[in-house]
Structure 1
């Protein structure tokens, strides 16, 4: 019953719900990026696919951890909650990987990295996706490493992609690392709550299992039986013998005796009925 929940259980459930919330948010953003639903998702899909992959892994771990936490809290299962507390650490590592990768790309010479990526790492299809999404042509200008299309050709009025790509990457990477690092303190708080509250979801102390050193074994039974036998011998009491199995007698004496008493019993019953009615 919810009314019987302890304060530790309420705190643990609130903590698990927060893990579920930011895990679900991260998974939704990752799915929308993989399927290129939002505007300029193609640029993120090409330029920052590793960060999107790390975010997807982090969201998957967070969702799995949150589901285990909800299950363990509702079922009062301490083993499941122990697994939940353990999985919070890989989730933290995956979140730090997303934040560190995006911050490193954002803070350390992003312009030079984009120059290198455009010339050596982006495929022709990736460049074309960036050009169509940002409405640009080539890198510095339409004559510099451009992928020709119906909108990108040598005399097109579209500008080069360097400026727009740099602006987009600066904004998106800044949003990713700042959001991730802002969630990390909350996640650390959830780890502390799980460690403090996972063992107190009920008012029962421990696991309710008799410790091993206090369990009754077959050896203990034999020793107790020997002690009892010695005490009986000292008191002069002989060991009781188990009676042998007996079977019903084949004699008809008892059966005939019951048949002879049937008329008498029936007569007594009739007399008692007459007295009761009178």
Structure 2
């Protein structure tokens, strides 16, 4: 959003904190790539991929700490002198124009006469204030948000590193398989009990004389047919 200037103060960050913006983009790219490696290794239970993911988490941590350190240092030590020096020596006329349009100030640092870029809103008799106050306020708010968010993710990232090391170290060929509890697994005794229930149902149907015909879903069968079915069922359970 900041690179493409989709919010109103994106131009200020593009000019005043361009190096920090590049560092944030680099850190985010490393973390996204690391996440893709991890999510591809989990479904296939691949120990090498998860090991690579565990290794990539360390550069991600370093990049995250770099973003937090740079933004914290810039926001804490002499925050008012750095914009003054940058305005005079590092910002281009186009950069000053972007700042004055985003912050709606006169374009000069102290007033319109102090190295301002002329525009529709920046001219000698303009009533707009200089950009110093608004720029310092934006830098304080923006840098505080960046370093606090970066340091807030460090703890969760360390927990993620620990979990990844444990998973990569204990992953085997049977990882994620055979996790059904013992009491819930099907045994030969369960198959025999189910067969006895089926035979009991057949015995219930077999009422009346031996030569009687019995209805079924497939037509009419004699009693010998039922006995043959019983023997097959019992024989199959016995072989199991």
Work out whether residues 43 and 130 of structure 1, in 8 Å CA contact, stay in contact via their aligned partners in 2: yes
Q: CA RMSD in A?
A: 1.2
* Cα-to-partner distance string for 1:222-258 (whole Å, 9 max, x where unaligned): xxxxxxxxxxxxxxxxxxxxxxxxxxxxxxxxxxxxx
State the match for 1:145 in structure 2. 115
Structure 1, gaps ≥5 residues long: 1-31, 206-278
Matched, 1:196 2:166: yes
Q: Which residue is equivalent to 1:102?
A: 71
Shift of residue 199 of structure 1?
3.0
Tell me if 1:166 matches 2:131. Answer: no
Aligned ranges for residues 224-243 of structure 1 at < 5 Å?
none
Question: Are residue 125 (structure 1) and residue 94 (structure 2) matched?
Answer: yes
What secondary structure does 1:35 align onto?
coil
State how far apart, in whole Å, the 2-side matches of 1:66 and 1:149 are. Answer: 46
Indicate the residue corresponding to 1:49 in structure 2: 18
2-structure distance, mates of 1:133, 1:175: 19
Aligned residue for 2:33, secondary structure, equals helix
Aligned to 2:38: 69
Counterparts of residues 1-278 of structure 1 (less than 5 Å): 32-137=1-106, 138-202=108-172, 204=174
Structure 2: how far apart are the matches of 1:192 and 1:51? Answer: 29
Asked if the contact 1:34/1:45 (under 8 Å) is kept, the reply is yes
1:139 and 1:161 in contact (8 A); partners too: yes
SS in 2 for 1:75: coil
How many residues are paired up? 174
Q: TM-score, normalised by structure 2?
A: 0.71
Q: Which runs of 4+ in 1 moved over 4 A?
A: none
CA contact (8 A) 2:105 2:131 kept: yes
Residues 68-126 of structure 1: per-residue CA shift (max 9 Å, x gap): 10111101110000100000000001011100010000000010011100000001100
Greater Cα radius of gyration, structure 1 or 2:
1
Gaps of 5+ in 2: 176-240
Structure with the higher helix share, 1 or 2? 1
CA distance in 2 between counterparts of 1:192 and 1:57 reads 24
| Secondary structure class of the residue paired with 2:145 | helix
